[in-house]
Chains A and B, each alone.
Chain A
Amino acid sequence: MTELANNSKSMGYWQRVARDGPRMGFWFILPTLLLLVFIVVFPLLMQLYLSFTWWTPLEGIPWYQAWEVFNWGENYWFMITDPRFWGALWRTVLIMIIAVPAQFFLGMALAYLFIDQFPGRKIFYSIMLTPMMIVPAVVGLMFFLLFQGTGPVNDHLGLPAEFSWLTDVNRAMISVIIADIWQWTPLMFLILLAGMLGVPSDQLLAAKLLGGSNLQNFIKIIMPRMKTVIIIALVLRAVECFKIFDLVFIMTKGGPGVQTETISVFLYKQTFGELEWAYVATIGLSILIALSILAVKGLSYMAKK
């Protein structure tokens, strides 16, 4: 007995940890936990604190002394009555409700084409996936080049160089949406195809032998079995679409005026253009709270199903 105790004492701390599963697990989790605390808990508190002040980095007041310019939540009132904020939010939602369904239907159609074998399927599959692997900022540049007045799009359509896309009030938004659809349809395609290939082929074959048409098979056999996949694909895209920044910022910088200003571009401009950091913190915190509520609601809804 004493020998054993001596033995375990002579082992170093780490050797003992290595023999104790849960304790090793604790050390394994620790770095991630520290990062989470570092990036979630502390910043959230700071954001809450700053959002109740007039603090900006301009006046030379360090952030921890921001209470000197405490303003009793006027930022929140300002946010609620700020038409630019609601406009940006609306435009973000607009991009979402146009681009995400478009990507979904295009992706679905493409995936349907790729169910069966055909010559060159592998190569075409790789080609289809390329857009989503390209750096979003570069995609922004690509469409920036395409939609120039003297670019190829106008040339094909036979339009004059004065016909502008990116500086036109309506067409700027259309250009951005086209670029987003181009880049992210492949993601929908990829996920939906994986879902379709997961549908047991014997069930499909049986339905076919029983005389179901392609459309009937698609609606009655494939679709119900893809429900989860479809939800995952749509949620993923919607979440990412809400964050849209790179594309818009490189293509139009949110312009002309505020015509393509999404919520991220708006926040960026407030941060660096107007340097109203406290106001940005207010909006950021409100978005966090709103999205968290949505996420919790969504998760509990999913759990119920």
Chain B
Amino acid sequence: MKTSPGAMALKCFFVFLASVVVLYPLLWMVTMAFKPHPEWTTVSGLTWLPKNPTWQNFEFIFFGEAEGLVVSLDRTIGGPLIASLVTATVGTLIAVVCGTLASYAVVRFGLAQSLPLSVLQLRLFPPLAVMIPVMVMWAFIGAVDTWWGLSLIYGIVTLPFAFWLMKTFFEEVPVEIEDAARVAGCSYWRVFYRITLPIVKPGLATCALFVFILNWSDYLLALLLTQREWVTLPVYMATLTSAMGGQMYGMKAALGVIAAIPPVVFGLMIQKHLVRGLTFGALKQ
């Protein structure tokens, strides 16, 4: 379809405008991370690009102190960063392994036809509406503030995504290929492990990245189920001020940038499959 130059110009203008709106808050936080204290506010004039760019904020959150700063930090980013990585990874493993196995059984053997919907229901409710018993249980089995306790709940809440995503990938594998392997004498397990899994490998990777993004992005569950040892990045970021008294905009912004990078990178990597993932496989691009 051809568009007139005028319409094209108008369109480009709107696209440009939308990009500005999208980038505006982002830019403020990213530049904030590289600004020294006086430029954090607009009291002495608005600065978009830092006049005196500095690594001070990053230095501060990594080492607990930085040149030119009188305050120091009793808890650096190391612990929360590791906590975020470990819990998000293990949670992803739980969700992807369980989701893959279960969805394969549902798709191929036609078992538990009510499972997909009941899994989906997990996603419907606000986590806080079901968290009281979970917190009581977690306290009872000693899982509060441990890496496995948080990973377990991550695995459970992202299971619906993994399950539905893998379900759509398995449905795309032609059953004839598997039948051929069966006729050739492979056991069901061998067919699954040697034939089907390699075929859906790209799907599996997409699914894992997608679930990882979701787990990494969590704030509420970590807030509820950790206290100190396994506090994750977003929780750490949010508590930074209260511990320090003063407002540490620059340090918070630096933390925000660090926390934001992995999901954005992974998200752009699996851009093609985002629609499928976010709509539980209902839509494909």
Query: Which A residues are within 8 Å of any B CB, using their own CB?
Result: 15, 17-22, 24-26, 28-29, 31-33, 35-36, 38-40, 42-44, 46-47, 50, 57, 63, 109-110, 113-114, 116, 118, 124-139, 141-143, 145-146, 148, 150-152, 154-156, 161, 182, 186-187, 190-191, 194-195, 197, 204-205, 208, 229, 232-233, 236, 239, 242-243, 245-246, 249-250, 263-264, 267-268, 271, 277, 280-281, 283-285, 287-288, 291-292, 295, 299
Q: Check A24–B188 contact: CB distance below 8 A.
A: yes
Greatest chain B CB density within 10 A among A116, A131, A145, A187 is at A145
Q: Check A47–B132 contact: CB distance below 8 A.
A: yes
Q: Check A135–B260 contact: CB distance below 8 A.
A: yes
Given A21-B108, A194-B285: A145 in contact with B29 (beta carbons within 8 A): yes
Closest-CB distance, A301 to chain B (whole angstroms) = 15
- With a CB–CB cut-off of 8 A, which chain B residues contact A295? 121, 124
Given A152-B46, A191-B275, A268-B128: A35 in contact with B155 (beta carbons within 8 A): yes
* A-contact bits for B94-133, CB 8 A (1 contact / 0 none): 0001110110111011011001011101111111111111
Given A25-B109, A141-B256, A154-B42: A63 in contact with B136 (beta carbons within 8 A): yes
Q: Check A29–B279 contact: CB distance below 8 A.
A: no
The docked-state distance in angstroms from the alpha carbon of A239 to that of B137 is 26
- Contact residues of B between 145 and 170, Cβ < 8 Å to A: 155-156, 159, 163
Q: Check A264–B128 contact: CB distance below 8 A.
A: yes
Partner of A291, one of B109, B124, B139, B216: B124
Partner of A35, one of B28, B98, B117, B284: B98
Q: Check B122–A40 contact: CB distance below 8 A.
A: yes
- With a CB–CB cut-off of 8 A, which chain B residues contact A44? 133
- Please, could you name 15 A-B residue pairs with CB atoms under 8 Å apart, sorted by A? A19-B187, A39-B134, A46-B137, A128-B18, A131-B26, A135-B256, A136-B217, A145-B253, A155-B46, A186-B22, A190-B274, A190-B275, A191-B275, A263-B128, A288-B130
Question: Does B15 lie at the interface of the complex (its beta carbon under 8 Å from any beta carbon of A)?
Answer: yes
Closest-CB distance, A201 to chain B (whole angstroms) = 8
Question: Does B52 lie at the interface of the complex (its beta carbon under 8 Å from any beta carbon of A)?
Answer: no
Given A129-B267, A194-B275: A25 in contact with B105 (beta carbons within 8 A): yes
> Which residue of chain B is the closest to A287 with respect to CB atoms?
B129
Pick out which of these stretches binds chain A: B6-14, B63-71, B198-206. B6-14
The docked-state distance in angstroms from the alpha carbon of A248 to that of B223 is 14
Q: Is the interface of B mostly helix, strand, loop or mixed?
A: helix
Partner of B187, one of A18, A205, A250, A291: A18
The docked-state distance in angstroms from the alpha carbon of A15 to that of B233 is 44
- Contact residues of B between 265 and 282, Cβ < 8 Å to A: 266-268, 271, 274-275, 278-279, 282
Q: Check B132–A133 contact: CB distance below 8 A.
A: no
Q: Is the interface of A mostly helix, strand, loop or mixed?
A: helix
Q: Check B220–A246 contact: CB distance below 8 A.
A: yes
Q: Check A32–B101 contact: CB distance below 8 A.
A: yes
Question: Does B60 lie at the interface of the complex (its beta carbon under 8 Å from any beta carbon of A)?
Answer: no
- With a CB–CB cut-off of 8 A, which chain A residues contact B134? 39, 43
> Which residue of chain B is the closest to A139 with respect to CB atoms?
B25
The docked-state distance in angstroms from the alpha carbon of A123 to that of B178 is 40
- List of 9 A-B pairs having minimum Cβ-Cβ separation, nearest first: A43-B133, A18-B189, A133-B267, A150-B41, A25-B105, A284-B129, A25-B109, A137-B234, A32-B102
The docked-state distance in angstroms from the alpha carbon of A19 to that of B188 is 6
- With a CB–CB cut-off of 8 A, which chain B residues contact A205? 1
Closest-CB distance, B101 to chain A (whole angstroms) = 4
Q: Check B126–A124 contact: CB distance below 8 A.
A: no
Partner of A287, one of B98, B126, B264, B266: B126
